[in-house]
Amino acid sequence: MWRFIGYRLLQAIPVILAVITVTFFLVRAAPGGPFDSEKAVIPEVRAALEAQYRLDQPLLQQYAAYLGDLAQGELGPSFKYPGRSVNELIAAGLPVTAELGFYALLVAIIIGGVAGVIASLKPNTAQDYIPMSVAMIGICMPSFLLGPLLVLVFGIYLDWLPVSGWGDIPGDKILPAITLGSTYAAYIARLSRAGMLEVMSQDYIRTARAKGLPEWQVVTRHALRGGLIPVVAFLGPAFAGLLSGSFVVETIFQIPGLGRFYVQAAFNRDYTMILGTTVFLSTLIVLFNLLSDILAAWMNPRLRAQFREQ
């Protein structure tokens, strides 16, 4: 098992290195620089700034220096927030985004899982079509449409929930979590439906029925575990996607998370911030993928045994 994990982590290194390299040269290839703002900067000041941030050096040298810093865990100083390092900015934004992502994932699992399982029990009937059509809408509806819609209905017409903020008023975390989680809920519904349908057609389900177990026990005791393995394998990529895709929701609901820093950094040509966040998020994605793969393998006794032996 440790060999497997070690192998996967080793595999991740060239992937992340490629991400860094591509991002590094892409942001620099984009027109404009961090100090090309609306106000004209005196040439001397500009030269001093560029020297301070090593922008006057040849590109390859900058690249090597960045990799050197990175090896020590340093993501460098932010260009737009003087005096603050990218590490600090990520540390400030991450907890908020992680919390939001976690709630969204919870929403996605509960709503998606239940809908998918219910749909799978009576395939090709109304019980299947209705949740699955809703799921299709969930996948198609972008969060910049769903968010304001939810705000309009629950925040303004019904006046049940706050329209924005994060942790200020009780209940202000509900709408963002639902908005962010809905797309993933839809994916999970489809995955769990497919997984359950597959398992429910297995011979051992017939065995369970032949034992005289009532249908709900057949589903909960015999089918759920196998049927939900694809969902578990999806959780890793889903959580990574929630973290890196939270920008729109954070903007709609005025949430001070990582996503907003990320997008602002891109507008500002804040090279180190863009790079730092990208490196950080891609590392997270690799880790979460690995984690959910391990978890999914662990749920299958046969793979678990192979795992232990390795």
Binding residues vs other proteins (CB under 8 A): 202-204, 206-214, 217, 221-222, 225-226, 299-302, 305, 309-310
Nearest to other proteins of 144, 204 (CB atom): 204
State the residue for tokens 């972008």: 142
Q: What are the C-alpha distances in Å from 11 to residues 6, 18, 22, 111, 283?
A: 9, 12, 18, 34, 12
Work out how close the CB of 304 gets to other proteins at its nearest, in angstroms, rounded to a whole number.
Answer: 9
Nearest to other proteins of 3, 39 (CB atom): 3
Compute φ and ψ for 253, nearest 5 degrees. Answer: -100, 10
Work out how close the CB of 204 gets to other proteins at its nearest, in angstroms, rounded to a whole number.
Answer: 4
* Cβ proximity of 258 and 94 under 8 Å: yes
Nearest to other proteins of 37, 201 (CB atom): 201
* Cβ proximity of 103 and 173 under 8 Å: yes
Work out how close the CB of 291 gets to other proteins at its nearest, in angstroms, rounded to a whole number.
Answer: 20
CA gap 124, 133 in Å, rounded: 12
Nearest to other proteins of 159, 203 (CB atom): 203
Work out how close the CB of 197 gets to other proteins at its nearest, in angstroms, rounded to a whole number.
Answer: 13
Q: What are the C-alpha distances in Å from 121 to residues 12, 223, 233?
A: 39, 11, 22
Compute φ and ψ for 159, nearest 5 degrees. Answer: 55, 40
Q: What are the C-alpha distances in Å from 136 to residues 18, 71, 131, 197, 248?
A: 35, 44, 9, 18, 20
Nearest to other proteins of 213, 263 (CB atom): 213
3-state secondary structure of 163: coil
Nearest to other proteins of 132, 208 (CB atom): 208
Work out how close the CB of 209 gets to other proteins at its nearest, in angstroms, rounded to a whole number.
Answer: 6
Nearest to other proteins of 186, 196 (CB atom): 196
Work out how close the CB of 290 gets to other proteins at its nearest, in angstroms, rounded to a whole number.
Answer: 22
Q: What are the C-alpha distances in Å from 212 to residues 49, 199, 221, 232?
A: 78, 18, 13, 30
Q: How many CB atoms lie within 10 A of CB 53?
A: 18
Work out how close the CB of 26 gets to other proteins at its nearest, in angstroms, rounded to a whole number.
Answer: 40
Nearest to other proteins of 14, 214 (CB atom): 214
Q: Which two tokens stand for residue 195?
A: 């997984």
Q: Considering only CA atoms, which of 257, 256, 101 is closest in space to residue 183? A: 101
Work out how close the CB of 109 gets to other proteins at its nearest, in angstroms, rounded to a whole number.
Answer: 19
Q: What are the C-alpha distances in Å from 77 to residues 40, 53, 86, 270, 274?
A: 23, 8, 6, 10, 11
